[in-house]
Amino acid sequence: MKIYKCAINKLLLFVLVLLMGGCKEKYDSPVPPIETGYLVVEGVINNDGDTTDIKLSRTTNLGDTGKRVETGAVVTIEGTDASIYRLGENFAGNYTINNIHLDNSIQYRINIQTSNNQQYRSDFVSVRSNPPIDSITWARENNGVQIYINTHDPQNNTRYYQWEFEETWEFNTFFATLKFVGNPASGVAYRDVTDPKIYQCWQFDYSKTLLLGSSAKLSDDVIHLPLTFVPGKARKMSVLYSIRVKQYSWSKEGYEFLERMKKNTESVGSVFDAQPSELNTNIHCITNPGQQVVGFFNICNIEEKRIFISNNDLPGWDYRLPCAKIVVPNNPDSIKDIAYSMLPVSAREERYPNIISFYAAESPCVDCRLTGTNIKPNFWP
C-alpha cells in the first residue's frame, strides 16, 4: 500500500497530452472525475513493532491546488481470526498505530469508513517477511557518487522489493565574527558566545520516485541496484553526508501495482503527464463498487540501514561556496546603500576599538539557517 510521497497529492487519473504538428489539443477523459475525488491510501503496515502510518487523501482535479486529506475516518486492521486493531488519527489525514505484531499464520485486511459513511475494504493478505538490508555501498562514478542498495533473501521467498531513502547533510557557510547592530543597522560589532551558531547547519531530502527492484527472473533472490546519484562538487557531500534507506517487501500483485503507478507518473518525465493504465488495486469501495481506489494493502516488517560518507573520503570533491565577499565601510549610509541584502562576515580594517570597514556577503552565504537548520540531528556523530 506504500505508494509515493510527492506525486500523490495531485494524481490525475486520466490525462493525455496530444502533440501533433507542434500544436496541443485538449483531451477530454472518457471517465469523469467524481466530485469528492478518489480515495488515496498510502502506507505499509509495519509488523516490526515500530510505528505504522497510513495516510488518507483524495485525488484532485488539474486546476486544484493543495492536497485534500481525508479526516475523521475510522481505520481498522481485521484478521481472519476476528482480531481488530484500530488506528488513531494523530493529525489530519494520518492514521497511526504503534507496537503492532501480527500473526504470520493469519491473514489481515484494512477497513476504512470515511466521515461521509463510505466504506472501503481490502482483500485479505498475508504478513510478508522482509530480509535485512545487506549493505548500502557507494562508488565514485561520472564525477560524482553513485549509491547502491544490496540485499538478498537466502530462502528465495521475497523477490519483490521497494526502497525509500532520506538524506541528511551537514554544510557550512562563511564563518562570521561580526553582526549588525541597530534596526535598521547602524554598524557592526563582534559576535559573542551567546549568539546562535549560523555557519554550521543541516539539510534534508527524501526520495521522490518509486524505487523498485525484483529478482523474479534470477535463480537467486539477490539485489544490487543503483539507488541515487550525487553530482560531483555538490554541497551535499561538502562536509558529512548520510542516507537512511527503508526496504519493503511486496507480493507479485502489489509489485505490479507499483510498476503501473511508476509508469503512470514518470514515463514522460512528469508525475502529472503520463497516460494511466488500470491500477488493479486490492482495496475496494464497498458502498460504490465501481469507484476507483488508489492504493495497495501490504503488511511487512520494514528494514532500515544508514551510512555516512565524509568529505574526507572524497579526494578532489572541491566544493566551493558560490559566494563573494565585498568591502563595506562601517557607517549607516554605506550599510544601507551597499549591504542592504547582506550580512557582515569579518573585519577588514579596524583601529581598536573601532571597526573601519568589514567584509559582507549575501545573507544565505553567512546565515546557514536561511537554507537549513542549525539544530544538530540526534543521530549525527
Q: Residue 315: inside a domain, yes or no?
A: no
Q: What is the pLDDT of residue 272?
A: 36
Q: Are residues 101 and 154 in the same domain?
A: no
Q: Are residues 230 and 254 in the same domain?
A: no
Q: Are residues 236 and 141 in the same domain?
A: yes
* pTM of the model as a whole: 0.86
Q: Residue 208: inside a domain, yes or no?
A: yes
Q: Of all helices (H) and strands (E), which one includes residue 336?
A: helix 332-338
Q: Write out pLDDT tens, residues 360-374.
A: 999 999 999 999 999
Q: Residue 169: inside a domain, yes or no?
A: yes
Q: Are residues 241 and 254 in the same domain?
A: no
Angle at 165 between CA 211 and CA 213, to 5 degrees: 25
Q: Are residues 110 and 13 in the same domain?
A: yes
Q: Write out pLDDT tens, residues 242-276.
A: 999 999 999 999 999 999 999 887 754 443 333 44
User: Confidence band (pLDDT; 50, 70, 90) for 327?
Assistant: very high
Q: Are residues 171 and 225 in the same domain?
A: yes
Q: Are residues 113 and 144 in the same domain?
A: no
| Cβ atoms of 165 and 229 closer than 8 Å | no
**End of a domain among 237, 270, 302?**
302
For residue 362, give its domain range: 132-247+322-381
Rounded Cα–Cα distance for residues 76 and 74 (Å): 7
- Sign of the Cα pseudo-torsion (176, 182, 187, 191, in order): negative
Pair type for strands 342-351 and 293-294 = unpaired
Residues 6+ apart with CB under 8 A from 176: 191, 198, 199, 343, 344, 345, 346, 366, 367
Q: Which residues are paired to 190 by β-bridges?
A: 178
Q: Are residues 37 and 71 in the same domain?
A: yes
Cβ atoms within 10 A of the Cβ of 149, count? 24
Which amino acid, residue 54? I
Number of structural domains found in the chain: 2
Q: Are residues 334 and 218 in the same domain?
A: yes
